[in-house]
Structure 1
Amino acid sequence: MREVLAHLTAGAGLNAARWLAGVIRCRFDFDKQVAMRLAEQLGATPTVAPERFRHIVPSTTKPPLPAVAMLGETIVHAEDIRRPLGMRRDYPIETVTQVADYYRGSDLVVLAKGRIGGLELLATDGPFAAGSGPLVSGTSLALVMAMTGRTTYCDDLEGDGVELLRSRCPIA
């Protein structure tokens, strides 16, 4: 969970210039840049990442990505922390729907568009619907989390397409 906090902290501390400098430094290897920024924020002791996160919470700085991408990062990684701890959070359905709409049409930041190709997604708690093919239905949050590759959220989904989606999810 420290790694997730460090990742969120890194994103909230990157402006466009700093992001671009890191991309160039890592020779346009985006995964390498994420790993580099993660290492910067983790710190040497277990208390460093949570302290840095608390400090950066009010930041409005972000990499040159759409605001909805950063919103998605925040929701998804918050759930990465909450679910293992048994903590639940209700998000405004309009917000989760906006993130789901963004992910369904994008492979920027998260490879969601390709992951859900050939499937019909239908939210049971809001207006989100996308695609065609075998059905995958569930809460908007469970759909977003599965779209981002979280296998455990497939347990919260129903329909003929769930197992195909599960097979495309690399993150437990």
Structure 2
Amino acid sequence: MRATTTLPDLTRQHREGFIETLEGLTLDDWLVPSLCREWRVVDVAAHLAWAPVMGAGEGIVAMIRSGFSMNRLIARSAIGWSSRGQEAILDQLRDNARTGARPIGMPPVAALSDAVVHGLDVRRPLGLLGQVPPESLAPLADFVLGTPWPMNAVIGGSAKRRVAGVRLVATDVDWTHGAGPDARGSAEALVLLLHGRVPAPSELTGPGAEVVLARL
């Protein structure tokens, strides 16, 4: 990150950018399948709206009903929350951007991760430009690579295992990770890869690209 850009600043900017994207969508766009399996755009938006403000009691009840599966809890909650409607979703997203709300027990960078990655989950299927400033790559990579099992199950699985034996090289910011054959890509492509999403083959180049794409 640039010295003048703080983590809260980045998170707020991404959240506000996501709100602007949603405000420009048609009713049909809200129902388009996202990159998140079984979630539509509206479900992703509902997840970003209410996951950061879920109370401890509500979370315990939802966990029990989901058979103590965090992934099942997240998936079911988002679909349930989406029934509250677009205006309620947008109002809650605006409140989260204003207050800096984040899920209980999660570090501040988790809110940035959600805003960036789920923003791409929505924008890519709709053919919209991503919003991944290069300075957000380093904190997101540190977060996802440093999150151990079982918590990494909710952020795309083990990024560390996915990129083992490969050197990731960003083409739009001074950032590298690992050792081995190079896999080169933009900050956006590398964020997708680290979070278990599949970038287009043309977005990753170098002898290590084929290795990491085969693991997705």
The normalised TM-score by structure 1 is 0.82
Deviation at 1:19, TM superposition (A): 2.9
Contact preservation (8 Å) 1:125, 1:139: yes
Deviation at 1:68, TM superposition (A): 0.9
Task: Find the counterpart in structure 2 of residue 163 from structure 1.
Answer: 210
Task: Find the counterpart in structure 2 of residue 147 from structure 1.
Answer: 194
Contact preservation (8 Å) 1:16, 1:63: yes
4+ residue stretches of structure 1 with deviation over 6 A? none
Q: Which has the higher contact order (CA 8 A, sep 6+)?
A: 2
Aligned partners of 1:70 and 1:153: how far apart in 2?
A: 25
Q: Structure 2: where are the runs of 5+ without partners?
A: 1-40
Measured against aligned partners, the alpha-carbon deviations of 1:59-91 in whole angstroms (never above 9, x if no partner) come to: 224232112122111101101111222222443
Does 1:6 pair with 2:39? no
Q: Taking structure 1 as reference, are residues 158 and 16 closer, same or farther at Cα in structure 2, changes over 3 Å only?
A: farther
Q: Taking structure 1 as reference, are residues 53 and 113 closer, same or farther at Cα in structure 2, changes over 3 Å only?
A: farther
Q: Taking structure 1 as reference, are residues 83 and 24 closer, same or farther at Cα in structure 2, changes over 3 Å only?
A: same
Deviation at 1:161, TM superposition (A): 1.6
Task: Find the counterpart in structure 2 of residue 138 from structure 1.
Answer: 185
Contact preservation (8 Å) 2:165, 2:178: yes
Q: Taking structure 1 as reference, are residues 138 and 64 closer, same or farther at Cα in structure 2, changes over 3 Å only?
A: same
Q: Structure 1: where are the runs of 5+ without partners?
A: none
Does 1:113 pair with 2:160? yes
Letter in 2 for 1:55: D
Task: Find the counterpart in structure 2 of residue 52 from structure 1.
Answer: 88
Tell me the number of residue pairs that the alignment of Structure 1 and Structure 2 aligns. Answer: 165
Task: Find the counterpart in structure 2 of residue 70 from structure 1.
Answer: 111
SS of match in other structure, 2:111: helix
Measured against aligned partners, the alpha-carbon deviations of 1:16-44 in whole angstroms (never above 9, x if no partner) come to: 44334433443421122112212321218
Aligned partners of 1:67 and 1:16: how far apart in 2?
A: 18
Contact preservation (8 Å) 2:120, 2:131: no
Contact preservation (8 Å) 1:145, 1:153: no
Task: Find the counterpart in structure 2 of residue 34 from structure 1.
Answer: 74
Aligned partners of 1:18 and 1:67: how far apart in 2?
A: 21
Percent identity over paired residues: 30
The normalised TM-score by structure 2 is 0.67
Aligned partners of 2:171 and 2:56: how far apart in 1?
A: 37
Letter in 2 for 1:99: L
